[in-house]
Every structure is written in structure tokens, then in C-alpha cells.
Amino acid sequence: MSDSANTMWGGRFADGPDAIMEAINASIGFDHRLARQDIEGSRAHAAMLAAQGIITDSDAEAIRKGLLTVLSEIEGGTFVFSTALEDIHMNVEARLKELIGEPAGRLHTARSRNDQVALDFRMWVRDQCDAALTGIAALQKALLGQAETGADLVMPGFTHLQTAQPVTWGHHMMAYVEMLARDAGRFSDARARMNECPLGTAALAGTSFPIDRDMTAQELSFDRPAANSLDAVSDRDFALEFLSAASICAMHLSRLAEELVIWSSAQFRFVTMSDRFSTGSSIMPQKKNPDAAELTRAKIGRVLGATVGLFTVMKGLPLTYSKDMQEDKEQVFDAADSLMLALAAMEGMVRDMAANPEALRAAASSGFSTATDLADWLVREAGLPFRDAHHVTGRLVAMAEAEGKDLPDLTLDQMKSAHESITDGVFDVLGVDNSVRSRTSYGGTAPDQVRAQIALWKERLA
């Protein structure tokens, strides 16, 4: 394909752009990723034009076959992209003309690059929503596997990264299943909203040709054609919604990655990370670094940066299309790639990691983690108001801390010194196993509650 002066513009510009203008104007360096969507949209458009009698059936068939040839060349790596032709749309159309001649010139009837790029990009983002949903479900299944294995495994629950109350490993894993479910909901909602077809709105005002926009919308699996031509060509809400959902999802992945970094450290030893997702040190032979988790933690920066970037591009644009909107794609492509890589890496890490029951139990038993259980017992069995029970428990914590003990290690006489109504029944609630078993409220950490949630999610994800 020749890089000669771009004749696609027609006669308006006698001189070609200089090198700087060509460089800033061209988007083929990144929008070649829209090739499949561009060709799919062109095939649907040509079929509609023929059905409406706007072009002949023979021209439509030549266009269809030619586009399939172009797609095979692109997918096979033999297609030569031209910067002089600016974008994927011009590159495809120019090659189509080389292949089939005059009928190629009829393909662009009743459309503009404005509605064409709006269509291609919308279809690409729609595909990425589907990919994100698949990746999220795979990670949820990995978390369910961990939850099922550790439904009874006791670990510390934290607030302020301080030991708070005992919980179960399964309960902690299921927290991320719930987070990811909200992420999936956001991608699904965004996909439903973006599923309107802009093709046929042309440059901005629609077209005088008797097109059938319902036909192209149906052919391209949209729910309906977009209702306003001005909005259709200038809308990038679908990309912003995708990026917003991706940012929240990446933030969730970053939180889990941070926990894996902490948990795999020598100071915690809560989990052992797989060698497949760890690296060594060039100088310290004992090191096993959780690099995959750290890189996943960092991906939020790229995704959130893309979100802010596109909001900044769009915030001052009048209707309808402005060339600024060419800057919408690279950051969305990068964010989508980053999110999918992070989801895949996290799924692998979660599937492969092994919890350390001894370290988890020891940590769960430290830091007076059953103090709330003691206060609850005083309310339930001794009839104290909770604030009084809280005060009594605080005195017992101070007593145990002064002696270097945990609450279950205090004697009954020591307990009674804080409040005479305490009996030896209090020791039934002070063990970490008793503590987690007692949290039977809906959504609580009791193993039976955790197993019920696991069963529910297995059914949802089946």
C-alpha cells in the first residue's frame, strides 16, 4: 500500500501535510486495534445499503468478500498500515479499493468517519466489558476455592491493621467475592447502557439516504439505534463508564494485592506464594519477592490515570465531534490491558497460594482478639449494659497485658476482681474457635454462614 499523498480527502487540500502534522494527526499507530470492529461494522453497513437499494447486491457482495480478505491480511500480519492514511478506517478502505476497485468507493455512502469511529470504539469497549466479566468470574471462582478450603480456618480480623476479632479465612476470601460482584455489576450496567448503535448518524445530522438503522443495530447485536445523531457521534460516556468501573475493580485488586504482600512477609507468614508469581533477589539469596502482587497493586495508577485523562479530554468539548476525541483510545486500550493482566495475575496468585494455619491461628489468638466476646458475654449472661461491660472488659485487658497474658489465661478469681458476676462460663467464649462459631448473624464469620455463602456463589457462577 502506498504512502503517497492522501487522496481520500478529495480536492479540498492541494498540498499534503508536513511530517509534524502527519504525526500528530495520525492514529493508525493505536487504532489498528479496532480493525475487527471496523470491518464488522462495514460489512453490516454494506448489507443494509444493498437491502435498501442504495447500492447493488453485486457491489455489496464484492465489498463483503473484500473486507474478509482485508481482515485475514490484518490477522495474518501481512497488512501494511500507512500513516499517511491516518487511521484504521482509511487504511481498510484504501486496501479494499486496491482489491475490488470501484465498489469500494460506495461503502462510505450514508456514513461518516464520525459515526464509524463511534461505532468501532463502542463495539471494542463492549467486548472489553465482556472480557472483564469473564476475568472477574474466574477470580471469584479461585477465591471460592480458597474459601471452601478454609471455611473453618481461624485468622485475625483487622481494623487499622490492628488485631480486632477472630474471623475465618473463608470469610475473608468471600469479602473479595462480594467486592468483585459489585465490579461485575458495574461492567454489566455499563454494557447495557452503551448498547445503542451510532452507525447511520453520519457526521452529526443523520443522512438523507433511506437507510435502515434498526437493521444495522440488530446485525451488530445492539439493542437499538442511538436516538439522537448529535449525541451519538460525540458521546464517549461508554468509555468513561468502562474506565470508572475498571478503576474501582483495579482498586479492589490492589487492596487484595496489598494484603498478599503483607501476608507473605516473614513478619506475618500468613500465606506462602507460588514460585510462579514470585521472584528472587539478585543479591540476597533468601528473598522471595511477591512481585506479581506488587505489580497488580500498581496497575490502579495506570487505570485511574486513564480515567482522569479521558474525563479531562471530554470536559470542555462542544457538540459534536472534535479532533480532541482522537485522544480517547490509547488510554482506554492501556487501561483495559492493565485490568485484564491484573485480573489474570490475581487469579493465578489466589489459586496457587497456600494459607499457613499455624501462623493464622497464633495471630488470631493474640492482641486480646476475644475482648468483644467477653463484653458480649457480660451483657448476655450478667445483664450489664454494654457500656459497663465494655469498661469491665477494658480493666481485664489491662490486667492481662500487665501480666503478659491473654484473656483466656486469666484465672477466674482475677476475672471476678473486675466484676463479681463473672463465672467460669466466660471461658467458653474466650477461645478463637468459640468466637467465630458464635458469629452466626447473616453475613457473619461463623463457618456455617461462610459455607452457605459459598454454596450460593457456586450456584451463581455455575
Active site residues: 160, 281
Considering only CA atoms, which of 18, 6, 71, 78 is closest in space to residue 42?
A: 71
In degrees, rounded to 5, the angle at the alpha carbon of residue 320 between the alpha carbons of residues 317 and 323 is: 65
Q: What phi and psi, each to the nearest 5 degrees, are found at residue 109?
A: -60, 135
List CB contacts of 349: < 8 A, sequence separation 6 or more: 260, 273, 274, 277, 292, 293, 296
DSSP states along 141-193: HHHHHHHHHTSS-EEEEEETTEEEEEEEHHHHHHHHHHHHHHHHHHHHHHHHH
204 neighbors 197 (Cβ within 8 angstroms)? no
In degrees, rounded to 5, the angle at the alpha carbon of residue 90 between the alpha carbons of residues 89 and 91 is: 95
Distance CA 110, CA 201 (A): 8
Inter-CA distances, 113 with 86, 94, 385, Å:
12, 14, 72
Distance CA 19, CA 84 (A): 10
Neighbours of 445 (CB within 10 A): 26
Distance CA 430, CA 155 (A): 15
Q: Identify the DSSP state of 317.
A: P
422 neighbors 412 (Cβ within 8 angstroms)? yes
Distance CA 387, CA 391 (A): 6
Q: What share of the chain is helix, strand, coil (3-state, %, to 5)?
A: 65, 5, 30
Assigned C-alpha cell, 182: 459489585
